[in-house]
Amino acid sequence: MPLPRRPLILCLLALVIGTLLVSGCLTEPPAAKPPVTMNMSSLTLYTEDVPPYNYVDNGTLQGISVDLLSLITAGMGENLSWEQVKVVPWSEGYTAALTGNKTMIFAIARLPERETSFKWAGPIIPLTPVLFALPERGIVVTSPDDLEGYRIGAVAENAEVQQLLEIGVNQSRIVLAPNASVMVTMLQDGEIDLMAYSQAAGRYFTRQVTGSFDTFRVVYVFPDIPLYYAFSRDVPDETVLSFQKVLDTLKTEKEAEGFSEYERILYRYTGVSCQPQPYPVAEVMNLVNVTVAAIEKDAPGTIRRVNAGEAPYRDPANSALYAFVFDRNVTLVAQAVNPGQVGTNLYGKTDVTGTPFRDRIVTGALHNGSGWEEYIYMNPTDAGLYYKTSYYRVTEGSDGMTYIVGSGAPSACEW
């Protein structure tokens, strides 16, 4: 007697499922393989002798990128052997890093034409070409047109020569020097009116020759060229990401004193920079006043918006212009660019020179209602130490709490 149709279908279905189970078709997929990594000790590293980024002094390799590299590899749980690092002419190192496996080169400009040739970690610091001048000359440069008639020094074959030509400087006005130290002396002695060089390197060589970072002032700034660590394409992504994570931590994580290891390194090699343009006093005061009014109306909502980096509490056109908020105990309540510190009590913490500027801001606000404070800081969105002046005001929020609201921007040089 034939089986009813429904039981027959169920039997056939069970047979098919059983066959699939036996064959492994319905078994769980294999576990994901762990990420592939590569130890830094297995890489060959290339660099060149270019102070203050990477250079040899008395047989010791040092510089901004070198000191950072040592801290990064330690943060990755590895001990870097300096025998891995080859200090060679740029063309030799670049070719080796570009064509070889298991390599890294530093510090290298991250240019569009190089983007797909390497895997990148950084930035280390911007390479910022500038024009330096003696402050007593009173030279003001607001556009390339203002350079007419000046003798401008540049190191032969450096990128600054091409940048000067591109902005319309006549070749006859460019005075070539064999190296930066000679050019510093030429500017100091009046043989040239302006010196075209990287800001960090120019300040380094200025101190070497004159004994001070601040002998000259910056009167014109060219577009930044960011410097990076570049890995060969065969280095696993996980290794590069781990390297990047430690670098980011070195920049943002404050030590017990109140500043980061990254800031300490920059201060050692480059000192502190200032802006060539006038300080935007009106914009800073306006942002503080707007934030105060918003906190008085809706403190919780405003604090949430500040920490989210929303406009107007973070200026979309000027990354250095943003609001911050303290309570009366110097605990950071809100910060529009780097909210990672929110909730941290910063009483007694200083800038890299030892100035307890946060304490002074809160104390000044509680005693005087408002005021100004100057200190040294690192812009969270840009590498480099700058003089900064912040305006602050005390207010009572809609929640009955006392808040100190501030904002600032890099200070212009004053001589």
| Structure confidence by residue, pLDDT tens digits, 20-64 | 444 554 455 555 555 567 899 999 999 998 899 999 999 999 999
The answer on pLDDT for 13 being more than 70 is no
pLDDT tens digits for 73-102? Answer: 999 999 888 889 999 988 899 999 999 999
Residues 207 and 134 in one domain: yes
At residue 157, the pLDDT reads 76
Whether residues 203 and 328 fall in one domain: no
In this structure, the answer to whether residues 299 and 393 fall within a common structural domain is yes
Average of per-residue pLDDT across 109-123: 93
Q: Per the domain annotation, does 85 fall within a domain?
A: yes
354 within some domain: yes
Measured distance CA(314)–CA(182) in Å, rounded? 43
Answer yes or no: is 27 within a domain: no
CA distance linking residue 36 with residue 106, whole number of Å: 23
How confident is the model at residue 30, as a pLDDT? 58
Considering the domain architecture, whether residues 134 and 84 belong to the same structural domain is answered as no
- Which residue range is the domain that position 147 belongs to? 129-223
* 356 shares a domain with 298: yes
**Residue 30, in any domain of the structure:** no
Q: Evaluate if pTM is beyond 0.85.
A: no
Confidence band, pLDDT 50/70/90 cuts, at residue 378: confident
Evaluate if residue 403 carries a pLDDT over 90.
yes
pLDDT value at 7 more than 70: no
Q: Do residues 147 and 246 both lie within one domain?
A: no
Please determine, for residue 110, whether its predicted confidence score (pLDDT) is greater than 80.
yes
The gap from C-alpha 1 to its chain's centroid, in whole angstroms, comes to 84
Residue-level pLDDT at 211: 95
Residue 349 and residue 391 share a domain? yes
Helices 281-297/299-307 angle, 10° precision: 130
Is 188 within the bounds of a domain?
yes
Per-residue confidence (pLDDT) for residue 379, from 0 to 100: 65
Residues 87 and 156 in one domain: no
> What integer best gives the mean pLDDT of the chain?
89
Cβ atoms < 10 Å from Cβ of 128: 22
110-to-13, 76, 124, 167, 200 alpha-carbon distances in Å: 60, 23, 11, 22, 17
152-185 pLDDT, tens digit each = 999 987 889 989 999 999 999 999 999 999 999 9
User: How many structural domains compose the chain?
Assistant: 3
Residues 194, 331 within the same domain: no
Name the nearest CA neighbour of 405 among 285, 310, 254.
Answer: 285
Banded model confidence at residue 224, pLDDT cuts 50, 70, 90: confident
In a domain, 272, yes or no: no
Check whether residue 91 and residue 149 sit in a common domain: no
Q: Give the tens place of pLDDT for each residue, 277-335.
A: 667 899 999 999 999 999 999 999 999 999 999 999 999 988 789 999 999 999 999 99
